[in-house]
Amino acid sequence: MADGDDDVPLILTWDDASSGLLEEDENGAGNHDVVNNVTIPASGASDPRAQNSLQQSWEMNFQEAAIYLQEGENNDKFFTHPRSAHALSAYLFAHSHLFYVVELLTAVLLMLLSLSEAPAVPFLRLDVYVHATLELLALVMVAFELCMKLRWLGFHTFIRHKRTMVKTSVLFIQFIEAIVVLVRQTSHLRVTRALRPIFLVDCRYCGAVRRNLRQIFQSLPPFIDILLLLLFFMVIFAILGFCLFSANTADHYFSTLENSIVSLFVLLTTANFPDVMMPAYSKNRWSCIFFIVYLSIELYFIMNLLLAVVFDTFNGVEKMKFKSLLLHKRSAIEHAFQLLVSRQRPDGVSLKQFDGLMRFYHPRMTPRDRFLTFKALNHSGAPMLSLQDFYKFYEVIGLKWKARRSGEHWFDDLPRTALLIFKGINLLVKSKAFQYAMYLVVAVNGIWILVETNMLNDGISWTRVVPWSYIIFLTIYGIEVLLKITGLGPITYFSSGWNLFDFSVTVFAFLGLIALAFDMEPFYFIVVLRPLQLLRLFKIKQRYRNVLDTMFELFPRMASLGLTLIIFYYSFAIVGMEFFADVIYPNCCDNSTVAASYRQINVTTGNRTELQEGYYYLNNFNNILSSFVTLFELTVVNNWYITMEGVTSQTTHWSRLYFMTFYIVTMVVMTIIVAFILDAFVFRMNYSRKNREPLDDPEDEKGIVFETEVSQTEALQTLDFYKHTLGVTNLTSLQDMCVALERSGTSLVFLGRRSRTKSDLSMKMYEEEIQEWYEEYSRTNLQTDGTFHRELDSPDAGATNSIN
């Protein structure tokens, strides 16, 4: 092998670690620089102690390089990089999955506590000392986590890290409050509970939520500007409306200036239209002009402008985010590269060092995969990876490696008769006729369900008798699934999202059948999912495939946006519960204008007594679940003023501030969601147009594919290298490869696959700009960080010095 056993790292990491190395070395080689010592191969190579310490310092370097690369991947800033050996242990502890899970569970527990606290969900109510103790425990957990973080970051960096400081102060407040609750044995007004989501947001696993929040805050300045314009027009029209309509005593919407402003605020959401217009309209028909002009300006112009401004900002933010992420990754790669090169060969990373890195970066990767990843990176075919090769690290690292199959189908190795049968099934399920026949079945099924449901017009009654049509269609779907699985092979079948969808719908329908047959009432709802089969019809048209695929692609981001919304909901729900719990009940608001919606009376018509219900008393803040439903209703906006007026009539008119603030906050989040969907969709469309490729042919393999060819001699060499030079014992993966190579002949092609991410799309979209960014980046880096690059660019100088 090309790697000498005694290569010395170009730079040594973690001062105290290397000083430990020095101390250890004092016995053997005296107090002079150990690095200089071992760079001279002839003198120090045979010394096993020096060899050992050298090995240790390499391990240190591998670990730090792996940490750099992880920081690059997670977009952690380098100023939180562990600087010493004891910081390292804290860092490793705070970056283990166990720690993450505990962090997440603690945060979730804290948030869930509100289910059992004071205005609790009835069946989850806990005693004060129980939930307060639980809270204290959770807070102690959080405190412990923060201590670990302090140990890793050091006091100075800890203070400078804004998010952590906010978290610390919130923790402090919550601690005091929890103790007060425990001492007084009763809950006081605890609005600060609204801050609990901060612990969740800070979790490692909630990075997407943090990103969303950041994006929301970045979009705020232009948003607020336009919002002011909106409010300004509102006030002007409120004055106008007050002047025009306050003379009409029947019109309570404009009776005072405050009422005018509130009415027009509600009108902005259209929730009180046309009711707000009616009293004025019945007096003078021309007064409708006022409302039409107001709505045209505010709703149809400025609100759209709001969206346009947010969309524009969003576009820019997305691009900048991608750029900074890309450059951060590049910088991480450069840092790692520097740690992996040796003094002897400062411009390349050998397999030995790469393997060492990967042991830390991806501990569970097999030696074979490490070797194949190295080969995939190694574009030039030289024995070492240059920095240029190494830049591709993040593109290659997620690949799943597999030897290219010699045959096409899974059944190619079966005996001839079986092969012919399976071949026939394969051809059948791939044929257009089969597909369209299935579409036809689905369509007939759809019509059948519609007709069947329509015939049950007087309400459904669950019976144990399973309709025969259900069994027939289910049999057809079952046969289809079986045919497809046998024809395509389970792996190919389940790798398509559409097939997965078919499969799960069919399985659900089958479960529903069992539920019906065995009369398991709570599972009846599964039966009802049958119409979802119809969704398959939308595969026929290309545009639907695009839209639905985009939908699936967007799903993770949508979910994180949903989580962000829930966090806002949580805070508002807590505040709502603290102030409005139990103020709403049937017939509560009889002195307000919305009394009818809260009324629950028995009306006697003739000799029949009927309960007339307004139902709105159900939209209350009596516990957190009710609050969430109420807040969702407020989000949807229609009739939200009934809830607002109800609460206001029972409390003070300052309560309106709560509802109006909530409306504006959801407006921001919703606008961001719209902007996000717009942006994602338009981006994908532009991408497919730019690259002139169909967005996805459902038959084609999707994703990113790398190819690497391995010859037999190479494989044996590698096996030998791993066995003897690195001393790895568990080499089954490599041995398997050698066996496969022996069977197939001289060489074998391995395919590395991964699914395509947004980052890959962005890379292609901004291809030209990326080059500019890189150039700009290396220019500024040369200016500000000249030393670093000098070391990297002229490595010989350093090496020569150490030899002289």
Residues 666-725 that bind a copy of itself (CB under 8 A): 670, 673-674, 677-678, 681-682, 685
List, in sequence order, every residue forming a beta bridge with 754; answer none if it has no partner: 704
For the stretch 581-616, what's the b/e string if a residue is b when 16 or more beta carbons lie within 10 angstroms of its beta carbon? bebbeeebbeebebbebbbeeeeeeeeeeeeeebeb
- Cα separations in angstroms, 454 against 355, 448, 460, 470, 471: 66, 10, 10, 16, 20
- Which tokens sit at 309? 């401004």
CA quadruple 495, 497, 503, 505: dihedral, nearest 10? 160
| Residue 593 interacts with a copy of itself (CB under 8 A): yes or no | no
CA angle 247, 249, 251 (to 5 degrees): 95
Q: Is 382 in the site for a copy of itself (CB under 8 A)?
A: no
Q: Report the residue from 56, 133, 164, 246 that binds a copy of itself according to the rule CB under 8 A.
A: 246
Question: Could you say which of 467, 531, 556, 786 contacts a copy of itself (CB under 8 A)?
Answer: 531
Going by C-beta distance under 8 Å and a sequence separation of 6 or more, which residues neighbour residue 526? 508, 509, 511, 512, 515
Residues 763, 770: Cα–Cα separation, whole Å: 8
CB of 454 to a copy of itself, least distance (A): 5
Task: Give the residue, chosen from 217, 301, 436, 552, that forms a contact with a copy of itself under the rule CB under 8 A.
Answer: 301
By CB under 8 A, residue 271 contacts a copy of itself:
yes
Main-chain dihedrals φ then ψ at residue 613, nearest 5 degrees: -120, 140
| Nearer to a copy of itself among residue 150 and residue 229 (C-beta) | 229
Instruction: Extract the tokens encoding 299.
Output: 């709703």
Candidate residues 116, 445, 571, 619; the one interacting with a copy of itself per rule CB under 8 A:
619
Q: Residue 222 or 698: which CB sits closer to a copy of itself?
A: 222
Question: Measured over all CA atoms, what is the biggest interatomic distance in the chain, rounded to whole angstroms?
Answer: 113
Query: CA 646 → CA 244, 268, 544, 662, distances in Å?
Result: 27, 19, 44, 16
Q: Establish if 601 lies at the interface with a copy of itself (CB under 8 A).
A: no
Within residues 717-776, the interface with a copy of itself by CB under 8 A covers none
Q: Which of residues 447-506 bind a copy of itself (CB under 8 A)?
A: 449-450, 453-454, 456-461
Does residue 308 touch a copy of itself according to CB under 8 A? yes
Q: How far is the CB of 678 from a copy of itself (least distance, A)?
A: 5
CB of 262 to a copy of itself, least distance (A): 14
Residue pair 45/29 in contact by the 8 Å Cβ criterion: no
Is residue 236 near a copy of itself by the rule CB under 8 A?
Answer: yes
The footprint of a copy of itself on residues 543-562 (CB under 8 A) is 543-544, 547, 550-551, 558, 562
DSSP 610: E
Catalogue the E-assigned strands of 697-804.
Answer: 704-711, 747-754
146 burial type by CB count under 10 A (0-12 exposed, 13-18 middle, 19+ buried): middle
The yes or no reply on residue 636 touching a copy of itself (CB under 8 A) is: yes
- Closest by alpha carbon to 597, among 605, 587, 606? 587
- CB of 226 or CB of 770, closer to a copy of itself: 226
Cβ neighbour number for residue 389 with a 10 Å cutoff: 20
274 cis-preceded (ω within 30 degrees of 0): yes
Q: How far is the CA of 50 from the CAs of 32, 35, 102, 131, in angstroms?
A: 13, 10, 41, 58
Local structure of residue 342 (DSSP, 8 states): B
Q: Is 243 in the site for a copy of itself (CB under 8 A)?
A: yes
**Count of residues that interact with a copy of itself, criterion CB under 8 A:** 95
Min CB(531)–a copy of itself separation in Å:
4
Does 239 participate in binding a copy of itself (rule CB under 8 A)? Answer: yes
Within positions 204 to 223, which residues make up the interface with a copy of itself, using CB under 8 A?
Answer: 222
Q: Is 257 in the site for a copy of itself (CB under 8 A)?
A: yes
Residue 312 as a binder of a copy of itself (CB under 8 A): the answer is yes
Dist. CA 421–CA 197, nearest whole Å = 58
How many residues are there in the chain?
804
Residue whose CB is less far from a copy of itself, 205 or 544: 544
Show contacts with a copy of itself in window 424-453 (CB under 8 A): 449-450, 453
Stretch that binds a copy of itself, among 234-242, 475-483, 570-578, 730-738 (CB under 8 A): 234-242
Answer for which of 40, 101, 173, 292 binds a copy of itself (CB under 8 A) is 292
Stretch that binds a copy of itself, among 398-406, 416-424, 437-445, 542-550 (CB under 8 A): 542-550
Q: How far is the CB of 677 from a copy of itself (least distance, A)?
A: 4
For a copy of itself, what does the binding mask look like between residues 22 and 61, x meaning CB under 8 A? ----------------------------------------
- Examine residue 309 and tell whether it contacts a copy of itself (CB under 8 A): yes
When asked if residue 275 is in the footprint of a copy of itself (CB under 8 A), the reply is yes
The closest alpha carbon to 785, from 772, 793, 324, 325, belongs to 793
Interface with a copy of itself, residue 240, by CB under 8 A: yes
Rounded to a whole number of angstroms, the minimum distance from the CB of residue 651 to a copy of itself is 21
Stretch that binds a copy of itself, among 174-182, 290-298, 342-350, 651-659 (CB under 8 A): 290-298
Task: Please pick, from the candidates 285, 432, 464, 743, the single residue that binds a copy of itself as defined by CB under 8 A.
Answer: 285
